[in-house]
Structure 1
Amino acid sequence: MCARELLPVLGQSQPERADAARNRQKIIEVTARMIAERGADQLSLDEVAREACVGVGTVYRRFRDKAGLLWALIDERERRFQAAFLTGPPAVGPGAPPAERVRAFLGALVDRVVEQQDLFVLLELGAPKARFNGPYRVHHTHLAGLLSEVRPDADARFLADALLATANAHLILYQRAERGMRVETIKSCIDALAQAILSANGPVPT
């Protein structure tokens, strides 16, 4: 992974010393291995430092806390996802009608959450200021912009929040584990809700 500023700024870079870049990469690789072996819920930054053979202070200075380290783990995949809906081919990317792009984006977002579900579940346990920043802010801005084109009569920001709530990692985990829902079924249900919102007539109450 190249050394770049963490989300939510897509593609922006910052200088990083070679030794700092090596330590960052080592910490990320060790963390990914530890999560694959033991799960993410018991992750400790002190243990990560020991396994990566770096000082504890190095880990805390670079990532600040557990949430910062988890964001670094999802950074590269999230950047690819952002590139897909910002500059990629339609219907997720530009070139398709906005209503079609809303539906395609939501389906792709469910796949994105499922891809790293354990990490997203942990990140959702963080403080609201952190949880609704980062990728959520990018997703919300993108979705609200599309919704404002389709439903200029409605509060696009609220509708974006409502639709993004359906891709909540905890909810998807519950639907899959407790209700036995397949990912494709979840996506189909979210798509039906999106279509209802996109085709509704009249203003949404304020």
Structure 2
Amino acid sequence: MERADAARNRRAILRAAEELLASHDLAEVSMDRVAAAAGVGKGTVFHRFGNREGLMRALVESRVEELSEAVAAGPPPLGPGAPPSERLAAFFDALVELATRNVKVMAAFEQASPDRLSSPIYVSWHAHVSGLIASAAPSLDADLVAHLLLGSLHSDLMLRFLRTGETVRLREGLRSMVATLLR
């Protein structure tokens, strides 16, 4: 159980980091700057998050928590109970929506995380996507196809689509890829 002051500091640090990212490039968002904006000592930020990558990961994790809960136990088609192809399309729709609402945070996490393939978020998403692909199309290499689909979301092109407001096009393109793969 987290102490009340520690929870308050965590929320303040995450809020400060998000506010700084809204108006600055990641390179300008130092741990010192985050600590000052949050009204805590630099040691508190380092103790809590370890480094800037840890801080960016915590920001992203706070955003994906709701999506993870919906995937695990929410209503279909995102949650259990829908055919795998519908769940997969709903998952990618939800990812595009998440990225659209949090484009700066997601981009900062990408820049700060040299090995995102081993991050708990990616590992979880990959397991979900590859499981759905294996159920829907057993002849496919589900592990590889999941990496390819998720990898398409980690690109400068994706960021361009999000920043230029082409989320509908992006969502429809992903849905088309999923439908074609699972035929």
Does TM, scored on the shorter chain, surpass 0.5? yes
Unmatched tracts of structure 1, length 5 or more: 1-14, 200-206
Deviation at 1:181, TM superposition (A): 6.5
Which secondary structure does the structure 1 equivalent of 2:76 belong to? Answer: coil
Structure 1: distance between partners of 2:162 and 2:90? 21
Matched, 1:18 2:9: no
User: If each structure's helix is expressed as a fraction of its own residues, which one has the higher value?
Assistant: 2
- Whether the 8 Å CA contact 2:31–2:52 is kept in 1: the answer is yes
TM-superposed deviation, 1:44: 0.8
Contact in 1 for aligned 2:70/2:78 (Cα 8 Å): yes
Paired residues in the alignment total 183
- Following TM superposition, the consecutive aligned residue runs of length 4 or more in structure 1 with deviations greater than 4 angstroms are none
**C-alpha displacement at 1:76, in angstroms?**
2.8
Task: Using the TM superposition, give the Cα deviation of residue 26 of structure 1 relative to its aligned residue in structure 2, in angstroms.
Answer: 2.0
The one of 32, 40, 53 equivalent to 2:39 is 53
CA distance in 2, matches of 1:76, 1:121: 15
Q: How does 1:158-177 map to 2 (within 5 A)?
A: 158-168=144-154, 170-176=156-162
CA contact 1:113–1:120 (8 Å) conserved in 2: yes
Matches within 5 A, 1:116-131: 116-131=102-117
The answer (yes or no) to whether the contact 1:123–1:131 under 8 Å persists in 2 is no
Q: Distance in 2 between matches of 1:99 and 1:42?
A: 42
- Cα offset, 1:167, TM superposition: 2.0
> Match for residue 91 of structure 1?
77
Sequence identity, in percent? 33
Task: Structure 2: give runs of 5+ residues left out of the alignment.
Answer: none
95 and 134 in structure 1: CA distance in 2 versus 1, 3 angstrom threshold: same
SS at match of 2:168: helix
SS of 2:153's partner is: coil
- Letter matched to residue 44 of structure 1: S
Counterpart residue identity of residue 109, structure 1: L
* Amino acid across the alignment from 1:71: R
Contact 1:41 1:122 in 2 (8 A): no
**Superposition TM-score, scaled by structure 1 size:** 0.80
What SS does the corresponding residue of 2:40 show, helix, strand or coil? coil
Quote how far apart the aligned CAs of 1:146 are: 0.7
Contact 1:46 1:56 in 2 (8 A): yes
Contact 2:56 2:112 (8 Å CA) reproduced? no
Shift of 1:184: 0.6
Q: Which amino acid aligns with 2:174?
A: I
Conserved? CA contact 1:98–1:147, under 8 Å? yes
Distance 1:143 1:93 in 2: 13
Q: Of residues 162, 165, 170 in structure 2, which corresponds to 1:186?
A: 170
Aligned partners of 2:63, 2:57: CA distance in 1, in Å?
10
Hey, what's the Cα distance between the residues in 2 that align with 1:100 and 1:186? Answer: 17
- Measure how far apart 1:38 and its partner are: 3.4
Cross-structure match for 2:49: 63
C-alpha displacement at 1:149, in angstroms? 0.5
Aligned equivalents of 2:32, 2:117: Cα separation in 1: 23
1:99 is matched by which residue type in structure 2?
A: S
Within the candidate set 43, 68, 73, 1:82 is matched to 68
Quote the offset at 1:190 in angstroms: 1.2
Highest Rg: 1 or 2? 1
Structure 1 pair 124/36, CA: closer, same or farther in 2 (3 Å)? closer
